[in-house]
Amino acid sequence: MIETISTIIIAIVIAVVIWFLLKNITKLLINSVIGVVLLFVFNFFNIFGMGDIPVSIGAVLVCAFGGLPGFVLLIILNAFGITI
């Protein structure tokens, strides 16, 4: 009886942990996709009249790992003439 109850409690705890991990991973993936899409849209439409941000492996990685804040960082660096 005790083994059954402890197994159910452990299963519930594992399910809750997996739920929170998947919820956070989903937010991170959405943020990364938004950052990369904004990088390509910014370059395609030449928004703000600034020059194109060179699409390199470094720029894509900054947008992929940083998401929207990474994209804003690339815009700020591009405004100062620094490219990644």
Q: How many domains in the chain? A: 1
Residue 64 lies in a domain: yes
**Alpha-carbon span 84 to 51, nearest angstrom:** 14
Q: Supply the range of the domain harboring residue 47.
A: 2-79
What confidence score (pLDDT) does residue 22 get?
A: 82
The C-alpha angle 37, 53, 43, rounded to 5 degrees, equals 50
Residue 31 lies in a domain: yes
Phi, then psi, of 65 in degrees rounded to 5: -80, -35
Residue 35 lies in a domain: yes
- Tokens describing residue 38: 């904004």
Residue 36 lies in a domain: yes
For the segment 21-30, what is each residue's pLDDT rounded down to a tens digit? 788 888 888 9
Residue 7 lies in a domain: yes
Give the residues of the chain that fall short of pLDDT 70: 48-51
What confidence score (pLDDT) does residue 39 get?
A: 87
What confidence score (pLDDT) does residue 64 get?
A: 87
Residue 84 lies in a domain: no
**Alpha-carbon span 16 to 78, nearest angstrom:** 43
What confidence score (pLDDT) does residue 42 get?
A: 86
What confidence score (pLDDT) does residue 19 get?
A: 87
Residue 41 lies in a domain: yes
**Alpha-carbon span 77 to 82, nearest angstrom:** 5
